[in-house]
Structures are given as C-alpha cells and as structure tokens.
C-alpha cells in the first residue's frame, strides 16, 4: 500500500500523457553531456600522465584510426534502422539480423587483416 501512495505522490512534473516534461528532458540531456565532457577530460589527463608526450601521439593515432574504422564500418545503419523501424515495427527483427551479419563480417575481416599484419611484421622483425 505504501508503494502505491509513493507512486501517486511524486513531485516530478509530468505531461498529460504521463511522460516527463520537455524541460526535464532538456536538463537530463544537458547533464549527460556535461558528464561525458568531464569523463573525457579525466581520461585525457590520465592518458597524458601515463604515456607521456610520445605515447600520447601514438594513442591519438590509434584513436583516430579506430574512429575512422567505426565511421566506415557502421555505414549509417544506426540511423537507417531507426528510420525504418519508426515507419514499420515489423522490420525490427530483419534489420537487427542484417546489422549483426554486417558487423560480424566486418569484425572477421578486420581481425584477419590485423593478424596477417602482425604475422608479417613479426616474421620480418625476427629475420633481422
């Protein structure tokens, strides 16, 4: 009985349909962005202190290559999936399957290429 009383006497603002108001959503989004900036700043400080100037450059290159790979790897599937599922809910299983198949094949290709690169550079390094 106490739970029902608490649920009916909440102080948060709600719209007539029971959803949070637009201002509450704006504040939550803004707070999330600020939190992400703070986490990014803390991560940068930790990496800078740990790796030093030369290691920081290598980390920047690795992060940039990873970001470029993600951009080319997703091919806008997140945006198109959202669009098509919003139009027709029945497409959700098909779109999830296509996305998983695409990302699985990309991961396999990347892993295979990475392993080939490592094996080739290791064999050249040992031959010296």
The band of 17, judged by pLDDT with boundaries at 50, 70 and 90, is: low
CA angle, residues 64, 99, 25, in degrees to nearest 5: 75
Structural domain boundaries in the chain: 13-58, 66-128
Q: What is the pLDDT of residue 96?
A: 93
C-alpha separations of 39 from 29, 32, 44, 60 in Å: 15, 11, 9, 17
Q: In this structure, are residues 77 and 102 in contact, taking their beta carbons and an 8 Å threshold?
A: yes
Please write the tens of the pLDDT for every residue from 28-67.
Answer: 999 999 999 999 899 888 888 888 877 777 778 788 888 8
**Residue 75 corresponds to which tokens in the numbers above?**
């091919």
Top mean-pLDDT range of 20-29, 58-67, 83-92 = 83-92
Q: Average pLDDT of the chain? A: 81
The band of 109, judged by pLDDT with boundaries at 50, 70 and 90, is: confident
> Does 128 score more than 60 pLDDT?
no
What is the reported pTM? 0.47
The band of 73, judged by pLDDT with boundaries at 50, 70 and 90, is: confident
């Amino acid at each position: 009985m106490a739970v029902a009383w608490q649920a009916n006497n909440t102080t948060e603002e709600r719209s007539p349909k029971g959803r949070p108001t637009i201002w509450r959503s704006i504040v939550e989004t803004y707070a999330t962005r600020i939190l992400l900036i703070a986490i990014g700043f803390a991560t940068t400080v930790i990496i800078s202190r740990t790796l030093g100037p030369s290691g920081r450059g290598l980390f920047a290159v690795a992060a940039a290559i990873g970001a470029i790979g993600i951009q080319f790897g997703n091919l806008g599937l997140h945006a198109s999936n959202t669009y098509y599922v919003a139009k027709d809910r029945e497409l959700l299983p098909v779109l999830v399957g296509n996305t998983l198949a695409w990302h699985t094949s990309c991961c396999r290709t990347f892993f295979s290429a990475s392993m080939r690169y490592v094996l080739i550079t290791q064999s050249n390094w040992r031959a010296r």
